[in-house]
Structure 1
């Protein structure tokens, strides 16, 4: 599979809510980074997608455009639309994803987006007032990683 087909498989699997197929696109030594989770390596990156897509979110809409791809690198612009949190706030997140490839798989995946824009939509007034601060970024990353730890541990609740 060439790298364009690999990125296409990753995002079409995302659209279908198929975290297993997404994980098949990742190298076992994957490094994933984004403003919400920070850096995740290996199994934590696989599990993040599983957590986010279990169960498949019926209101999740993903669209993507493969902007460029080469033998070693790729870039995809994608948009996620969904409802977030207990208050079901509407979020439209515009993301730029940079990829590096190794051995026919994605070895590095870095998602970049405006955390303040995301937090204003996801958290309302609190996000508007302090969503841009380093304090809030740390708090968001701590919370999402605690949820991921809980998910990985297999605890129900």
Structure 2
């Protein structure tokens, strides 16, 4: 197994264990993370996001598959089952991740998933009807980023 594939495996094993410190240890200090909800997060903000999500999770189940990596890039697919705390609704988020590596660590991490599919599950009828609409996506992102800022201020 390529060392970078093992690094991705270690990252998701830490995630499955809700070990945000273990996840962050896989990241380069200049990490750039992006996804459809949080947008782009750099450096300590990326690690804080994982710490916040792991800390809030009560029933998180993470399964990873399709890990593949070489010297410069890698990819994986992961599924997360959890209860969305704001609505109490069950979610299965199916995510494709891409990675770039630097100095033996993850330097770029981009998660992609269907926001509409996620919104349908997490937000119920509102997500079903408006999950495709940019204003709902912007509202969800703004709420997530406010939560991250509050979390970081409290740490």
Unaligned 5+ residue runs, structure 2? none
Q: TM-score, normalising length from structure 1?
A: 0.94
1:62 aligns with 2:62: yes
The count of aligned residue pairs is 154
Structure 1 range deviating more: 82-91 or 2-11: 82-91
List per-residue Cα deviations over 1:88-117 (Å, max 9, x = no partner): 101001000000000000000000000000
1:44 aligns with 2:75: no
Report the CA distance between 1:67 and its aligned residue. Answer: 3.6
Unaligned 5+ residue runs, structure 1? none
Report the CA distance between 1:71 and its aligned residue. Answer: 0.5
For residues 87 and 136 of structure 1, do their structure 2 counterparts lie closer, same or farther at Cα, with a shift above 3 Å needed? closer
Corresponding residue number in structure 1 for 2:8: 7
Q: Distance in 2 between matches of 1:132 and 1:68?
A: 31
Q: Distance in 1 between matches of 2:153 and 2:108?
A: 25
Q: State the Cα RMSD in Å.
A: 1.3
Q: Distance in 1 between matches of 2:86 and 2:69?
A: 38
Report the CA distance between 1:86 and its aligned residue. Answer: 4.0
Q: Helix, strand or coil for the counterpart of 1:111?
A: strand
Corresponding residue number in structure 2 for 1:104: 104
Q: Distance in 2 between matches of 1:86 and 1:94?
A: 20
